[in-house]
Amino acid sequence: MTDAQGPTVLRYTAFATDPAGGNPAGVVLDATGLTDARMLEIAAEVGYSETAFVVPRPAEPDDFDVRYFSPLVEVPFCGHATVAAAVALGRPGTLRFHTPAGLVDVATTPTTATLTSVPTHATPAAPADVTAALRALGWSADDLDDRYPPHWAFGGSRHLVLAVRTRARLAALDYDFDALADLLRAHDAVTAQLVHQREEDVFDARDPFPVGGVVEDPATGSAAAAFGGYLRAIGRVERPRSVTIHQGVDLGRPSLLEICVAPDDPRVTVTGSAVPITG
């Protein structure tokens, strides 16, 4: 869709049922012909952590090419913009998003979407990386929950997973933007997935995103997928497991992400709601 000024950009918030919650995303439903430079320019103008650019495949009505741009860089996959775009398309059923990270199936209703990630994986973070992350975050090794070792985890894009022992430490997040950005960039990662286990299958999360020029994401679907793969990698998925992630609370934009992971499937499903932002 275009107008005299260029493509129409829809604004949705994902992983919430209230426009005041969740993570806002821009959505361009027909980005046919847009250059990389123009997509990056539009994403910067929108100012959200990501904008999804959708290109329909006329011969395959349920298939779409989708790319994701933050205000500073393109990322290979973005979960919240995927949920937003799927709902914005208004096509209940199963859609197929061809992303730079790979094929992502999205089961969609008028208000929700469940994405099935590309295969996830996770590897232990080197001690030097953990030390650098702790320095950037202003944390100490004693803040970490030793039940959950630090890992680099992939769920369409790469994330550094660190678990803390207390919710108070997570709530007090205040980090060195440039130092964390440098560490993440050096490992081709996009966010730090900082988590605290509230209950057995309930976690709180915060996701700094300095690589994209964003201090923090209120909801991060790719990190949620990566976290599911991380749980599987560290042996915490002995049977199919459903996990609830609360994110964005400390930003005043509460978000709810539901993930499902199985011991015999490297893919992870991530479910959330999306609603338009009006006004």
Per-residue pLDDT of the chain (279 residues; tens, 9 = 90+): 444 467 999 999 999 999 999 999 999 999 999 999 999 999 999 999 999 999 999 999 999 999 999 999 999 999 999 999 999 999 999 999 999 999 999 999 999 999 999 999 999 999 999 999 999 999 999 999 999 999 999 999 999 999 999 999 999 999 999 999 999 999 999 999 999 999 999 999 999 999 999 999 999 999 999 999 999 999 999 999 999 999 999 999 999 999 999 999 999 999 999 999 986
Query: What pLDDT was estimated at residue 90?
Result: 96
| Per-residue model confidence (pLDDT) at position 278 | 84
Contacts with 199 (C-beta within 8 Å, 6 or more apart), sequence order: none
- What pLDDT is stored for residue 29 in this prediction? 98
d(CA 94, CA 134): 41
Q: What is the pTM of this model?
A: 0.96
CATH no. of 2-113: 3.10.310.10
Please tell me the CATH code under which domain 121-271 is placed: 3.10.310.10
CATH 3.10.310.10 in the chain, residue ranges: 2-113, 121-271
Picking from 251, 275, 90, the residue whose alpha carbon sits closest to that of residue 173 is: 251
* 128 CB-near residues (< 8 Å, 6+ apart): none
pLDDT at 35: 98
